[in-house]
Structure 1
Amino acid sequence: MLVSRQIICPHCGGINRVPAEQPADAVRCGRCRTPLFSAKPIDVDAAALNKHIQQGDLPVLAQLWAPWCSSCVVMASAYEAAAYELEPDMRLVKLNSDAEPEMAARLRVQTIPTMILFSDGVEVARVSGGGVAGGISAWARARLADVQIRSSMRA
């Protein structure tokens, strides 16, 4: 039984232990007192992305994008709508691949926009291009459900 979850603050990077029975969307950071969720994707650098993936307990959906990419611009509103639908069960982040080329290379991103879903610290799914723009929430939920089914079959 899950007693609490670690949720990373998108503002100060603080690690917050949130009781499982407490609605996460109503919680404020213990360090900076800002809400842990805003129903919008958060811009991150490589260090913040790593912290959300490695130290947080929420699945992370990361979009790698660049300001010059027209598909990324078109997809931005759909990604924001997905954050509204998926939070607080999933953290949505945006990483500018131009500003963080080493991280983009480490993640083997060759096309943008690329979305990568992480769960329990590992990549579980990815999609490149703007093809799922209208169905980001459904895509992320389905991929996460696939992972949970596979995990329960191994247990």
Structure 2
Amino acid sequence: MASPLKMTCFECGAVNRVPSDKLSAGPKCGTCGARMNDGKVRELDPATLAKAMKNDDVPLLIDFWAPWCGPCRQMAPAFQQAARSLAPQARLAKINTEDHPKVSQKHNIRGIPALLLYQNGREVKRHAGAIPAQMIEALVRNNAKLS
């Protein structure tokens, strides 16, 4: 049996254990039944974000953004494209810094868009500024341990 990987459900916040060889089989949350890694970018609340950053073994790339930010809006389609390309090996999510300013303060975000890559409970890489999908994918592939 493959070693289990911890993944936080973006819908209900439950931490699930998923066998590493089953990531591509479309695992669902054992609590709420939501898909765990379908290649879609999810908007997170601060509690779910904190839990995922702390617990997830699967690489997690967070986009700190705001609706008024032109570069943030410009990068959004590329971020979604990268999420589809990287699934199921990594997950991408967003947090709105305008709705949750304390989260950006806590993570020392000085400018947006800011991308923070987390794996196994620690920050692995940080990038400030809008980048195309290929560079988002390279940021994850070059800095995270993919299953």
Q: TM-score by structure 1 length?
A: 0.86
Within the alignment, does 1:37 sit opposite 2:37 as a pair? yes
Alpha-carbon contact 1:18-1:24 (below 8 Å) kept: no
Q: Which residue of 2 aligns with 1:60?
A: 60
Alpha-carbon shift at residue 8 of structure 1 (Å): 1.3
Q: Matched residues, percent identical?
A: 33
Aligned letter for 1:133?
Answer: P
Aligned length: 145
By relative contact order (CA 8 Å, sep 6+), the higher-ranking structure is 2
Structure 1 partner of 2:103: 103
Q: Which residue is 1:79 aligned to? A: 79
Query: What is the distance in 1 between the residues matched to 2:17 and 2:23?
Result: 12
Q: Which amino acid aligns with 1:47?
A: A
3-state SS of the aligned residue for 1:126? strand
1:127 offset after TM fit, Å?
Answer: 0.9
Q: Do 2:26 and 2:38's aligned partners in 1 also have CA atoms closer than 8 Å?
A: no
Unmatched 5+ stretches in structure 1: 149-155
State the shift of 1:22 in Å.
1.8
Query: Match for 1:49: what amino acid?
Result: L
Q: CA deviation at 1:91?
A: 1.8
Separation in 1, partners of 2:2, 2:62: 25
Letter in 2 for 1:39: G
The reply to whether residue 118 of structure 1 matches residue 118 of structure 2 is yes
Q: Which runs of 4+ in 1 moved over 6 A?
A: none
User: In the aligned structure 2, how far is the partner of 1:8 from the partner of 1:24?
Assistant: 16
SS in 1 for 2:34: coil
1:24 shift after superposition: 4.4
Give the aligned partner of residue 88 of structure 1: 88
Structure 2 portions without partners, runs of 5+: none
AA paired with 1:65?
A: W
Residues 23 and 89 in structure 2, CA contact (< 8 A), matched pair in contact too = no
Look at both structures and tell me which one has the larger radius of gyration over its CA atoms: 1
- 1:21 is aligned to 2:21: yes
Q: CA RMSD in A?
A: 1.8
In 1, Cα distance between equivalents of 2:33 and 2:106: 33
Structure 2 partner of 1:133: 132
